[in-house]
Amino acid sequence: MNWLFGSALSSTMVVPERALKGHEGYTYSVPATHTVLGTPLQGPWPEGTRTIVLGMGCFWGAERIFWQLPGVVSTSVGYQGGYTPYPTYEETCTGLTGHAEVVQVAYDPAVVSDADVLRTFWESHDPTQGYRQGNDRGTQYRSTVYTTTPEQAAAAEETRAAYQQRLTQAGYGEITTEIRTADEAGPYYYAEDYHQQYLDKNPNGYCGIGGTGVSCPRPLDA
């Protein structure tokens, strides 16, 4: 997507004192309902639902991967991991907010495990590319995992280690994925309405998501 903003993009992470000031609240409306699943976009969801926030490049294609995954209750796209409060898409694309484009995935762990959500994440993009994903370049396209439970955090590290072995065998470099808790990453900000379920609204829209073709081993679930 970065062709929309050209030379404004950054390949160096902004420091807090140089980040954009941001806003005191949303400057746009956030929809209430998922256009594909018909479930609440912002919750509440059924008791026991878990959430995890994943960055894997352009969030349009990434979100579609997860709303199609059995056991997923809802998805949304947004911005997280940076410094600027309530950023806009245009601000995030400058690289001066520190945020990544991310997908919040709400899922039923009785149907799809933490590990299987993460296996889908690893296999659906190239986590060795640093501040880019394919042709999309900039810190906002970095690979990220922001966890909300200790079990997710353990599964993230376990699947990362297992996938690194497979990637190394296939000739890929080191995984650069940022793994930390959602609390450490800071607030999750919902993206603008037109980004939510973008590829459902625009079936022929841009999708820069592409995996390595390397499968992630299935670890033992806790």
Per residue in 126-146, pLDDT (tens digit) is 999 999 998 899 999 999 999
Q: Please state the pTM of the whole predicted model.
A: 0.93
DSSP states along 7-31: GG--SSPPPGGGS----SS-SS---
Amino acid at 113: S
Residue 138 lies in a domain: yes
Residue 115 lies in a domain: yes
Average pLDDT, the chain: 93
pLDDT at position 3? 34
pLDDT at position 165? 97
Distance of CA 194 to the CA centre of its chain: 17
Residues in the chain: 222
Residue 16 lies in a domain: no
Residue 35 lies in a domain: no
Cα–Cα distance between 66 and 30 in angstroms, integer? 20
Residue 13 lies in a domain: no
Three-state DSSP state, 145 = strand
**Tokens for 124?**
């659906």
Q: Are 193 and 31 in contact (CB under 8 A)?
A: yes
Residue 135 lies in a domain: yes
Per residue in 22-64, pLDDT (tens digit) is 999 999 999 999 999 999 999 999 999 999 999 999 999 999 9
Cα–Cα distance between 162 and 47 in angstroms, integer? 31
Structural domains counted in the chain: 1
pLDDT at position 219? 59
Residue 138, domain CATH? 3.30.1060.10
Cα–Cα distance between 21 and 203 in angstroms, integer? 35
11: confidence class by pLDDT, cuts 50, 70, 90: confident
Residue 182 lies in a domain: yes
Report the DSSP pairing between strands 189-190 and 143-147: unpaired
218: confidence class by pLDDT, cuts 50, 70, 90: confident
Asked if pLDDT for residue 14 goes beyond 50, the answer is: yes
Range of the domain at 183: 45-201
**Tokens for 49?**
């639902």
**Tokens for 47?**
């008791």
Q: Which of 25-39, 59-73, 201-215 has the lowest mean pLDDT?
A: 201-215
Asked if pLDDT for residue 114 goes beyond 70, the answer is: yes
Q: Which residues participate in catalysis according to the annotation?
A: 58
Q: Which distant-in-sequence residues (6+ apart) come within 8 Å of 220 by Cβ?
A: none
Q: Which residue has the tokens 């793994």?
A: 179
Asked if pLDDT for residue 1 goes beyond 60, the answer is: no
Per residue in 79-102, pLDDT (tens digit) is 999 999 999 999 999 999 999 999
Shortest CA distance to 178 belongs to which of 113, 99, 107?
Answer: 99
Residue 212 lies in a domain: no
Asked if pLDDT for residue 121 goes beyond 50, the answer is: yes
126: burial class by Cβ within 10 Å (0-12, 13-18, 19+)? buried
Three-state DSSP state, 102 = strand
